[in-house]
Amino acid sequence: MTTDDKEQNHKELSYRQSGVDVEAGYALVDKIKPFVEKTKRPEILSGLGSFSALSRIPKHIKNPILVTCTDGVGTKIEIAKELNNFDTIGIDLVAMCVNDLIVCGAEPLVFLDYYVTDKLKVETAANVIKGIAKGCELANCSLVGGETAEHPGAFPENSFDLAGFALGVVEETEILGIEGPKNDDILIGIESSGFHSNGFSLIRKVINDFDIDLEKKIGREKLGNILLKPTHVYVNEILALKKITRINAIAHITGGGFDENIPRMLGENQKAIIQHDFDDWPSGKYFKWLMETTGIPKENLVNTFNCGVGLIISVNKSNEENVLGALNQSLFAKTIGKVQEKEPNESQVLYV
Protein backbone atom coordinates (compact mmCIF):
# COMPACT_ATOMS: atom_id res chain seq x y z
CA MET A 1 0.00 0.00 0.00
CA THR A 2 1.40 3.39 -1.01
CA THR A 3 1.71 6.37 1.32
CA ASP A 4 -1.10 8.11 -0.61
CA ASP A 5 -3.34 5.04 -0.13
CA LYS A 6 -2.61 4.99 3.62
CA GLU A 7 -3.39 8.68 3.92
CA GLN A 8 -6.67 8.18 2.06
CA ASN A 9 -7.62 5.25 4.32
CA HIS A 10 -6.82 7.28 7.44
CA LYS A 11 -9.08 10.08 6.24
CA GLU A 12 -11.92 7.56 6.12
CA LEU A 13 -11.25 6.03 9.57
CA SER A 14 -14.11 5.94 12.05
CA TYR A 15 -14.68 4.67 15.58
CA ARG A 16 -16.63 1.75 14.09
CA GLN A 17 -13.55 0.69 12.09
CA SER A 18 -11.56 0.49 15.31
CA GLY A 19 -14.07 -2.03 16.64
CA VAL A 20 -16.39 0.22 18.66
CA ASP A 21 -20.01 0.47 17.48
CA VAL A 22 -21.60 3.54 19.06
CA GLU A 23 -24.82 2.88 17.20
CA ALA A 24 -25.16 -0.45 19.02
CA GLY A 25 -24.74 1.45 22.27
CA TYR A 26 -27.58 3.80 21.35
CA ALA A 27 -29.75 0.82 20.41
CA LEU A 28 -29.04 -0.79 23.78
CA VAL A 29 -30.10 2.33 25.68
CA ASP A 30 -33.40 2.45 23.77
CA LYS A 31 -33.99 -1.24 24.44
CA ILE A 32 -33.45 -1.08 28.20
CA LYS A 33 -35.37 2.13 28.94
CA PRO A 34 -38.69 0.38 29.76
CA PHE A 35 -37.02 -1.94 32.27
CA VAL A 36 -35.02 0.81 33.91
CA GLU A 37 -38.07 3.06 34.27
CA LYS A 38 -39.79 0.44 36.45
CA THR A 39 -37.03 0.78 39.07
CA LYS A 40 -37.34 4.54 39.60
CA ARG A 41 -37.88 5.54 43.21
CA PRO A 42 -39.62 8.86 44.02
CA GLU A 43 -36.34 10.30 45.33
CA ILE A 44 -34.62 10.09 41.93
CA LEU A 45 -34.41 13.43 40.08
CA SER A 46 -32.45 12.45 36.97
CA GLY A 47 -33.25 10.20 34.02
CA LEU A 48 -31.43 7.48 32.10
CA GLY A 49 -28.70 9.00 29.94
CA SER A 50 -27.68 11.77 32.31
CA PHE A 51 -23.97 12.26 32.97
CA SER A 52 -24.64 11.51 36.64
CA ALA A 53 -27.61 10.61 38.81
CA LEU A 54 -29.36 12.84 41.32
CA SER A 55 -31.25 11.56 44.33
CA ARG A 56 -32.81 12.96 47.47
CA ILE A 57 -32.43 11.17 50.78
CA PRO A 58 -35.68 9.35 51.67
CA LYS A 59 -37.77 11.62 53.91
CA HIS A 60 -38.32 8.98 56.60
CA ILE A 61 -34.57 8.93 57.39
CA LYS A 62 -33.71 11.87 59.67
CA ASN A 63 -30.00 11.27 60.36
CA PRO A 64 -28.79 9.53 57.20
CA ILE A 65 -25.60 7.52 56.95
CA LEU A 66 -24.62 6.63 53.39
CA VAL A 67 -23.43 3.09 52.71
CA THR A 68 -21.63 1.96 49.55
CA CYS A 69 -20.43 -1.32 48.12
CA THR A 70 -19.36 -2.94 44.89
CA ASP A 71 -19.25 -6.52 43.63
CA GLY A 72 -19.44 -8.75 40.58
CA VAL A 73 -20.69 -12.22 39.69
CA GLY A 74 -17.36 -13.87 38.92
CA THR A 75 -17.14 -16.79 36.54
CA LYS A 76 -20.82 -17.65 36.86
CA ILE A 77 -20.94 -15.65 33.63
CA GLU A 78 -19.19 -18.57 31.89
CA ILE A 79 -22.05 -20.92 32.83
CA ALA A 80 -24.54 -18.39 31.45
CA LYS A 81 -22.53 -18.24 28.22
CA GLU A 82 -22.38 -22.01 27.88
CA LEU A 83 -26.15 -22.27 28.31
CA ASN A 84 -26.81 -19.09 26.29
CA ASN A 85 -29.08 -17.90 29.09
CA PHE A 86 -28.47 -14.37 30.34
CA ASP A 87 -31.84 -13.72 31.98
CA THR A 88 -30.81 -14.03 35.62
CA ILE A 89 -27.14 -13.06 35.84
CA GLY A 90 -28.16 -9.41 36.33
CA ILE A 91 -30.25 -10.34 39.38
CA ASP A 92 -27.10 -11.93 40.81
CA LEU A 93 -25.18 -8.71 40.28
CA VAL A 94 -27.69 -6.62 42.22
CA ALA A 95 -28.11 -9.23 44.95
CA MET A 96 -24.40 -9.53 45.64
CA CYS A 97 -24.26 -5.78 46.27
CA VAL A 98 -27.50 -5.10 48.13
CA ASN A 99 -27.06 -8.13 50.38
CA ASP A 100 -23.82 -6.54 51.55
CA LEU A 101 -25.68 -3.27 52.21
CA ILE A 102 -28.39 -4.98 54.24
CA VAL A 103 -25.79 -6.46 56.60
CA CYS A 104 -25.51 -3.03 58.25
CA GLY A 105 -29.26 -2.38 57.96
CA ALA A 106 -29.06 -0.04 54.97
CA GLU A 107 -31.96 0.48 52.60
CA PRO A 108 -30.67 0.28 48.98
CA LEU A 109 -31.26 3.56 47.16
CA VAL A 110 -29.46 3.53 43.80
CA PHE A 111 -27.57 1.02 41.67
CA LEU A 112 -25.16 1.39 38.75
CA ASP A 113 -23.62 -1.29 36.56
CA TYR A 114 -20.49 -1.63 34.43
CA TYR A 115 -20.73 -3.94 31.40
CA VAL A 116 -17.54 -4.46 29.40
CA THR A 117 -17.16 -6.61 26.29
CA ASP A 118 -15.01 -7.01 23.21
CA LYS A 119 -17.94 -6.30 20.89
CA LEU A 120 -21.39 -5.26 22.04
CA LYS A 121 -24.16 -7.74 21.30
CA VAL A 122 -27.29 -5.72 21.92
CA GLU A 123 -29.60 -8.67 22.60
CA THR A 124 -27.25 -10.28 25.13
CA ALA A 125 -26.55 -7.00 26.91
CA ALA A 126 -30.25 -6.14 26.98
CA ASN A 127 -31.09 -9.48 28.65
CA VAL A 128 -28.39 -8.94 31.24
CA ILE A 129 -29.56 -5.42 32.02
CA LYS A 130 -33.19 -6.53 32.10
CA GLY A 131 -32.08 -8.91 34.87
CA ILE A 132 -30.31 -6.06 36.64
CA ALA A 133 -33.54 -4.04 36.53
CA LYS A 134 -35.45 -7.03 37.92
CA GLY A 135 -32.94 -7.29 40.77
CA CYS A 136 -33.38 -3.59 41.50
CA GLU A 137 -37.16 -4.06 41.63
CA LEU A 138 -36.70 -6.89 44.14
CA ALA A 139 -34.46 -4.67 46.26
CA ASN A 140 -36.59 -1.52 45.77
CA CYS A 141 -33.66 0.50 44.49
CA SER A 142 -33.30 2.57 41.35
CA LEU A 143 -31.12 1.59 38.42
CA VAL A 144 -29.89 5.10 37.73
CA GLY A 145 -27.26 4.45 35.10
CA GLY A 146 -24.09 2.61 34.26
CA GLU A 147 -21.37 2.21 31.69
CA THR A 148 -21.30 -0.08 28.67
CA ALA A 149 -17.81 -0.36 27.17
CA GLU A 150 -16.40 -2.09 24.12
CA HIS A 151 -12.71 -2.99 24.39
CA PRO A 152 -11.78 -4.51 21.01
CA GLY A 153 -8.37 -6.11 21.01
CA ALA A 154 -8.04 -5.68 24.77
CA PHE A 155 -10.78 -8.02 26.02
CA PRO A 156 -11.38 -11.71 25.20
CA GLU A 157 -13.52 -12.30 22.13
CA ASN A 158 -17.18 -13.17 22.67
CA SER A 159 -16.89 -12.35 26.37
CA PHE A 160 -18.21 -9.81 28.80
CA ASP A 161 -17.80 -8.98 32.46
CA LEU A 162 -19.96 -7.19 34.99
CA ALA A 163 -19.50 -5.04 38.04
CA GLY A 164 -22.15 -3.43 40.20
CA PHE A 165 -22.14 -0.44 42.52
CA ALA A 166 -24.80 0.19 45.15
CA LEU A 167 -25.55 3.15 47.39
CA GLY A 168 -27.75 2.69 50.42
CA VAL A 169 -28.84 4.77 53.38
CA VAL A 170 -29.53 3.92 57.01
CA GLU A 171 -30.76 5.87 60.01
CA GLU A 172 -27.73 6.49 62.22
CA THR A 173 -29.45 5.03 65.27
CA GLU A 174 -30.45 1.88 63.35
CA ILE A 175 -27.08 0.76 61.98
CA LEU A 176 -26.59 -2.96 62.50
CA GLY A 177 -23.43 -4.72 63.60
CA ILE A 178 -21.35 -1.86 65.00
CA GLU A 179 -21.27 -3.34 68.49
CA GLY A 180 -21.38 -6.87 67.12
CA PRO A 181 -23.12 -9.89 68.62
CA LYS A 182 -23.37 -10.52 72.35
CA ASN A 183 -21.99 -13.62 73.99
CA ASP A 184 -24.78 -16.21 74.24
CA ASP A 185 -26.58 -14.76 71.21
CA ILE A 186 -28.14 -17.40 69.01
CA LEU A 187 -27.29 -17.62 65.31
CA ILE A 188 -30.16 -18.06 62.87
CA GLY A 189 -29.48 -19.16 59.31
CA ILE A 190 -31.64 -18.08 56.38
CA GLU A 191 -31.82 -20.31 53.32
CA SER A 192 -29.94 -19.60 50.09
CA SER A 193 -31.45 -20.24 46.68
CA GLY A 194 -28.44 -22.34 45.73
CA PHE A 195 -24.86 -21.58 44.82
CA HIS A 196 -25.60 -17.84 44.54
CA SER A 197 -22.57 -16.27 42.80
CA ASN A 198 -19.60 -17.78 44.62
CA GLY A 199 -17.25 -20.69 44.05
CA PHE A 200 -17.89 -20.98 40.32
CA SER A 201 -14.23 -21.38 39.42
CA LEU A 202 -14.24 -24.55 41.53
CA ILE A 203 -17.61 -25.63 40.11
CA ARG A 204 -16.37 -25.18 36.55
CA LYS A 205 -13.21 -27.15 37.33
CA VAL A 206 -15.36 -29.98 38.73
CA ILE A 207 -17.57 -29.95 35.63
CA ASN A 208 -14.49 -30.12 33.41
CA ASP A 209 -12.49 -32.66 35.44
CA PHE A 210 -15.42 -35.02 35.97
CA ASP A 211 -16.88 -34.43 32.50
CA ILE A 212 -20.29 -33.51 33.90
CA ASP A 213 -23.03 -32.53 31.45
CA LEU A 214 -25.00 -29.41 32.42
CA GLU A 215 -28.11 -31.32 31.30
CA LYS A 216 -27.53 -33.86 34.08
CA LYS A 217 -30.47 -34.17 36.48
CA ILE A 218 -30.12 -33.66 40.23
CA GLY A 219 -33.46 -34.90 41.42
CA ARG A 220 -35.91 -33.34 38.98
CA GLU A 221 -33.73 -30.32 38.12
CA LYS A 222 -31.09 -29.90 35.45
CA LEU A 223 -27.65 -28.96 36.77
CA GLY A 224 -27.42 -25.97 34.44
CA ASN A 225 -30.70 -24.55 35.74
CA ILE A 226 -29.56 -25.08 39.33
CA LEU A 227 -26.30 -23.24 38.71
CA LEU A 228 -28.09 -20.28 37.13
CA LYS A 229 -30.59 -19.83 39.95
CA PRO A 230 -30.20 -16.17 40.90
CA THR A 231 -28.83 -15.11 44.26
CA HIS A 232 -31.66 -14.39 46.67
CA VAL A 233 -32.21 -10.71 47.51
CA TYR A 234 -32.64 -10.50 51.30
CA VAL A 235 -33.50 -6.80 51.53
CA ASN A 236 -37.22 -7.04 52.23
CA GLU A 237 -36.87 -9.77 54.85
CA ILE A 238 -34.21 -7.93 56.85
CA LEU A 239 -35.85 -4.49 56.64
CA ALA A 240 -39.11 -6.05 57.86
CA LEU A 241 -37.30 -7.91 60.64
CA LYS A 242 -35.61 -4.71 61.82
CA LYS A 243 -39.03 -3.25 62.59
CA ILE A 244 -40.01 -5.97 65.05
CA THR A 245 -36.78 -6.98 66.81
CA ARG A 246 -33.20 -6.09 67.56
CA ILE A 247 -30.63 -7.67 65.25
CA ASN A 248 -27.15 -7.59 66.75
CA ALA A 249 -25.18 -8.59 63.66
CA ILE A 250 -25.49 -10.22 60.22
CA ALA A 251 -23.06 -12.23 58.09
CA HIS A 252 -23.62 -12.49 54.34
CA ILE A 253 -22.28 -15.92 53.38
CA THR A 254 -20.50 -15.23 50.11
CA GLY A 255 -17.08 -16.31 48.80
CA GLY A 256 -15.11 -17.98 51.57
CA GLY A 257 -18.21 -19.65 52.98
CA PHE A 258 -18.77 -19.96 56.72
CA ASP A 259 -15.11 -19.83 57.71
CA GLU A 260 -14.39 -16.45 56.14
CA ASN A 261 -17.69 -14.62 56.56
CA ILE A 262 -18.92 -15.53 60.04
CA PRO A 263 -15.79 -14.04 61.72
CA ARG A 264 -16.50 -10.74 59.94
CA MET A 265 -19.45 -10.16 62.27
CA LEU A 266 -17.74 -11.39 65.46
CA GLY A 267 -15.58 -9.56 67.97
CA GLU A 268 -11.96 -10.71 68.09
CA ASN A 269 -12.60 -12.56 71.37
CA GLN A 270 -15.73 -14.34 70.19
CA LYS A 271 -16.40 -17.65 68.47
CA ALA A 272 -19.39 -19.10 66.67
CA ILE A 273 -20.37 -22.68 67.40
CA ILE A 274 -22.15 -23.99 64.30
CA GLN A 275 -24.25 -27.06 63.70
CA HIS A 276 -24.79 -27.63 59.99
CA ASP A 277 -26.21 -30.49 57.96
CA PHE A 278 -26.93 -30.27 54.24
CA ASP A 279 -30.20 -32.12 54.74
CA ASP A 280 -31.52 -29.27 56.93
CA TRP A 281 -31.67 -26.80 54.01
CA PRO A 282 -33.80 -26.64 50.86
CA SER A 283 -30.75 -26.08 48.63
CA GLY A 284 -28.46 -28.25 50.75
CA LYS A 285 -29.03 -31.15 48.35
CA TYR A 286 -27.01 -29.34 45.67
CA PHE A 287 -23.95 -29.06 47.90
CA LYS A 288 -24.40 -32.61 49.18
CA TRP A 289 -24.46 -33.79 45.55
CA LEU A 290 -21.24 -31.87 44.89
CA MET A 291 -19.55 -33.47 47.90
CA GLU A 292 -20.70 -36.98 47.06
CA THR A 293 -19.90 -36.68 43.34
CA THR A 294 -16.40 -35.28 43.72
CA GLY A 295 -15.19 -36.44 47.12
CA ILE A 296 -14.48 -32.85 48.14
CA PRO A 297 -14.49 -32.92 51.97
CA LYS A 298 -17.14 -30.96 53.77
CA GLU A 299 -14.52 -28.72 55.41
CA ASN A 300 -13.53 -27.52 51.92
CA LEU A 301 -17.13 -26.84 50.99
CA VAL A 302 -17.93 -24.75 54.08
CA ASN A 303 -14.93 -22.51 53.41
CA THR A 304 -15.94 -21.96 49.77
CA PHE A 305 -19.75 -22.05 49.45
CA ASN A 306 -22.82 -20.96 51.40
CA CYS A 307 -23.82 -24.65 51.71
CA GLY A 308 -27.51 -23.74 51.75
CA VAL A 309 -27.32 -20.76 54.13
CA GLY A 310 -27.32 -17.29 52.53
CA LEU A 311 -27.40 -15.10 55.66
CA ILE A 312 -26.68 -15.71 59.33
CA ILE A 313 -28.11 -13.30 61.86
CA SER A 314 -27.21 -12.92 65.52
CA VAL A 315 -30.02 -12.14 67.98
CA ASN A 316 -30.68 -12.37 71.68
CA LYS A 317 -31.98 -15.76 72.77
CA SER A 318 -35.22 -14.15 74.00
CA ASN A 319 -35.99 -13.04 70.40
CA GLU A 320 -35.47 -16.45 68.81
CA GLU A 321 -39.13 -17.45 68.52
CA ASN A 322 -40.28 -14.10 67.09
CA VAL A 323 -37.44 -13.98 64.56
CA LEU A 324 -38.01 -17.53 63.32
CA GLY A 325 -41.75 -16.93 63.10
CA ALA A 326 -41.27 -13.78 61.03
CA LEU A 327 -38.65 -15.23 58.69
CA ASN A 328 -40.43 -18.50 58.06
CA GLN A 329 -43.39 -16.67 56.55
CA SER A 330 -41.34 -16.23 53.35
CA LEU A 331 -38.08 -18.17 53.66
CA PHE A 332 -36.86 -21.21 55.53
CA ALA A 333 -34.83 -20.25 58.62
CA LYS A 334 -33.59 -22.16 61.62
CA THR A 335 -31.21 -21.78 64.55
CA ILE A 336 -27.77 -23.13 63.62
CA GLY A 337 -25.52 -22.03 66.46
CA LYS A 338 -24.55 -19.59 69.16
CA VAL A 339 -21.91 -17.01 70.03
CA GLN A 340 -19.55 -17.57 72.93
CA GLU A 341 -16.33 -16.15 74.31
CA LYS A 342 -13.27 -17.52 72.52
CA GLU A 343 -10.21 -18.98 74.18
CA PRO A 344 -6.87 -17.53 72.98
CA ASN A 345 -5.92 -20.41 70.68
CA GLU A 346 -9.38 -21.31 69.42
CA SER A 347 -10.71 -20.76 65.91
CA GLN A 348 -13.55 -18.28 65.49
CA VAL A 349 -15.77 -20.88 63.82
CA LEU A 350 -16.20 -24.28 65.46
CA TYR A 351 -18.43 -27.08 64.15
CA VAL A 352 -20.30 -29.58 66.31
CA 331 from chain center: how many Å? 17
Asked whether residue 155 falls in the same domain as residue 243, the answer is no
Asked whether residue 136 falls in the same domain as residue 192, the answer is no
Q: What is the pLDDT of residue 12?
A: 60
Residue 142 within any structural domain of the chain? yes
Exposed (0-12), middle (13-18) or buried (19+): which is 250, by Cβ within 10 Å?
A: buried
Asked whether residue 154 falls in the same domain as residue 205, the answer is no
Q: What is the pLDDT of residue 185?
A: 97
Q: What is the pLDDT of residue 52?
A: 83
Residue 4 within any structural domain of the chain? no
Q: What is the pLDDT of residue 51?
A: 78
Domain boundary among 145, 174, 203: 174
Distances (CA, A) of 115 to 77, 123, 126, 351: 12, 13, 11, 40
Residue 259 within any structural domain of the chain? yes
Asked whether residue 162 falls in the same domain as residue 22, the answer is yes
Domain boundary among 174, 196, 223: 174
Q: What is the pLDDT of residue 157?
A: 87
Q: What is the pLDDT of residue 82?
A: 95
Enter the pTM of the model.
0.91
Asked whether residue 166 falls in the same domain as residue 190, the answer is no
Asked whether residue 99 falls in the same domain as residue 190, the answer is no
Q: What is the pLDDT of residue 23?
A: 65
Residue 9 within any structural domain of the chain? no
Tell me the residue range of the domain where 311 lies: 186-351
CATH number for the domain including 48? 3.30.1330.10
Asked whether residue 203 falls in the same domain as residue 105, the answer is no
Residue 8 within any structural domain of the chain? no
Exposure string over 96-109, b if 16+ CB within 10 A, otherwise e? bbbbbbbbbbbbbb
Residue 3 within any structural domain of the chain? no
Residue 1 within any structural domain of the chain? no
- Give the mean pLDDT per block of 10 residues along the chain (352 residues): 55 57 67 79 80 89 96 96 96 98 97 94 92 96 91 89 97 94 97 97 95 94 97 97 95 96 96 97 96 93 96 97 95 97 94 94
Asked whether residue 160 falls in the same domain as residue 97, the answer is yes
Asked whether residue 194 falls in the same domain as residue 140, the answer is no
Asked whether residue 217 falls in the same domain as residue 328, the answer is yes
Residue 313 within any structural domain of the chain? yes
Domain boundary among 119, 154, 174: 174
Counting the structural domains of the chain, the total is 2
Asked whether residue 255 falls in the same domain as residue 329, the answer is yes
Measured CA to CA, the distance from residue 329 to residue 124 in angstroms comes to: 36
Asked whether residue 57 falls in the same domain as residue 141, the answer is yes
CATH number for the domain including 195? 3.90.650.10
